[in-house]
Structure 1
Amino acid sequence: MKRITVFVIVVIAMILTACTASGSDQTPPPSTYIQNKGSDTIVNLALAWAEEYQRLHPEVRISVTGGGSGTGITAMISGTVDIANASRQIKEEEMQAALANGIEPVEHVVARDAIAVIVHPQNPVNQLTIDQISLIYQGVINNWQEVGGENRPIVRLSRETNSGTHVYFLEEVIRKGDHNNKAIFSADTLLLPSSEGIIAEVSDNPNAIGYDGLGYVTEHVKVLAIGTQPQGPFVLPSIETVNSGAYPISRDLYMYTRRDAPPLVGEYLNWILSPQAQDIVSRLGFVPIVTLSAGN
């Protein structure tokens, strides 16, 4: 009886061992993760890239979150993300903080973007100069009648201060690229936490003016033509006008990595700069990098 019991135990053990071995053969290799965080302007584009790359490389997992350019760069400085998305260049103080923490940031231009100045569709104003936009956001021009519109107060909308789009608009539009200019947003400017929030508010408020990345613009708002001189020309944002330099409010979009990033991060960045990934850029309303997309 004891021999039978021992035999049964041995057989059960062999079965369990075989099942375990068989199960291990079917277990996929552990996924490799890339942590990607930052600019809300880029977040939808980064999500589309991540989704396509994971389809091509199922063994890779990419986490994409927003929060603003400053948030992403801060996370890279602290070493908690692999890639920081930014709609502005890294600041000197951020660079120094990274180096002090043993991290050497590397800049990658991954796409371009136009900043569209938007109003409610019923607003009769169709165009503005950079000077007029600057004066509006400084609080010098306060009524639409002053720029050819109706007798209505102007409601100014902006992204929050941690946004790279906010920083770019302040430096390149309100201050007109003059580093000695200390102009700031009017104190009554309403700060909104997202690009979608800007679109929603402008579409609901006939008195509002806002700005947003071209990829976020919908048919529920009107995009203004922009000029650098009162006599024009006044140009609408598009892939063509950004690439030709005709549209005056455009910028590069960035990803920042650390110099000693894992090889997988470099492989992903190389793919982002490929024609296949740059085609996603144009499909989402952003501007592909010319030298890489000219043949598409």
Structure 2
Amino acid sequence: MKRFQQLAASLGLCSTLGIASAGYGGTITVKGSDTLVILAQKWAEVYMREHSATKIQVTGGGSGIGFAALQNNTTDIADASRPIKSAERVACIKSFGKDPREYKVALDGLSIYVHSSNPLNEASIDQLEQIFTGKLTNWKDLGGPDSPITVYSRENSSGTYEFFKEHILKGKDFVSSAQTMPGTAALLQAVSNDPKGIGYGGAAYGHGAKVLKVKKTSDSPAVEPTEENVLSGKYPIWRYLFNYLNPAKDKDEIAAYLKWIRSDEGQKIVKDVGYYPLPEKLRAK
């Protein structure tokens, strides 16, 4: 996964890849989720080997950025690490007259990262809420060293930020001292260099930091974000990753590409990158 982190960072989470679609031609634009951008880039790279007429532009920036681009008709596909909001849906309908079409494209076990030297191995949802809202401020309160906790978070245009705020913080604000990072790769780098640090991000970015097991409640078993635990729902912070588009554009090369993403071949790449493939019932045949 490290090579994809480095690729994302070096390109500023943006790449333009020449891709072909057998029998079709043109340009497909993909914009949005930073969580998805390394997977989107890899999908494009592999798809390029088998096709030669279609160009695909992949850009990150955050799920909110992707939805804004979809509303403004400046992207064909919006990548998202959270479901579309009602206000965003209304804006899309106002823009192109139809409800945007949603495709689930992968699963993720949203992971909690600490420095590799941190003795902590697990945390409950309640403890995470207290850490990220500033109620717990010292690692000794969690059985660690007498050292202040440094919280790393994402910018508010990030779908991961919004998912974490809704499901872990229960809508509360992040602690005001949280260090806001421009992307998941930057957040991981910060945590991996800070013995006091803690942050969160997609499973595919975990190289270089320690991943904590998560407990749904204080008396629940601690669960790792493995493929088995995510697919079974045992890991409490799992989510789908999505593509959204204007239904009028779901044809020709765009439809072919989206179907390939959800095929067995496309889903193998999901696993190679570090996320978790869709169950068979959700795959394209």
**TM-score normalised per structure 2:** 0.88
Aligned partners of 1:118 and 1:79: how far apart in 2? 36
The match for 1:145 among 120, 137, 140 is 140
Query: What CA distance in whole angstroms lies between the structure 1 residues aligned with 2:184 and 2:134?
Result: 22
Give distance in 2, aligned partners of 1:208 and 1:238.
Answer: 23
Matches within 5 A, 1:117-266: 117-175=112-170, 182-218=171-207, 220-261=208-249, 262-266=251-255
Contact 2:30 2:59 in 1 (8 A): yes
CA distance in 1, matches of 2:25, 2:247: 23
Does 2:261 correspond to 1:272? yes
Q: Is residue 36 from structure 1 mapped to residue 23 from structure 2 by the alignment? A: no
Counterpart-to-counterpart distance in 2, 1:128 and 1:30:
50
1:23 is matched with none
Match of 2:45 in 1: 51
Letter matched to residue 189 of structure 1: A
Query: Counterpart of 2:211 in structure 1: which amino acid?
Result: V
Q: Is the 8 A contact 1:274 1:292 kept in 2?
A: no
**Is residue 96–residue 246 contact of structure 2 (8 Å, CA) maintained in 1?**
no
Cα deviation 1:176-197 (Å, max 9, x = unaligned) = xxxxxx4111111111001111
The structure with the larger Rg is: 1
AA at the equivalent of 1:122 = S
**Alignment RMSD, CA only?**
1.6
SS at match of 2:35: helix
Partner residue of 2:56 out of 45, 59, 62: 62
CA deviations on 1:266-287 (whole Å, 9 max, x unpaired) are 1111111100000000011101
Cα deviation code 1:63-84 (max 9, x no counterpart)? 1010111111111111111100
Worse-matched range after superposition: 225-234 or 84-93: 225-234
- Structure 1 stretches of 5 or more lacking a match? 1-28, 176-181
Aligned match of 1:14: none
SS of the residue aligned with 1:260? helix
The answer for unaligned runs of 5 or more in structure 2 is 1-22
Structure 1 residue aligned with 2:13: none
Contact 2:124 2:218 in 1 (8 A): yes
Q: Post-superposition, which runs of at least 4 consecutive aligned residues in structure 1 deviate over 6 A?
A: none
1:107 and 2:96 correspond: no
Identify if the C-alpha distance between structure 1 residues 52 and 103 changes in structure 2 by more than 3 Å, giving closer, same or farther: farther
Show the counterpart of 2:10.
none
- Write the distance in 1 (CA, Å) between the matches of 2:281 and 2:190: 36
What TM-score do the two structures reach when normalised by structure 1? 0.85
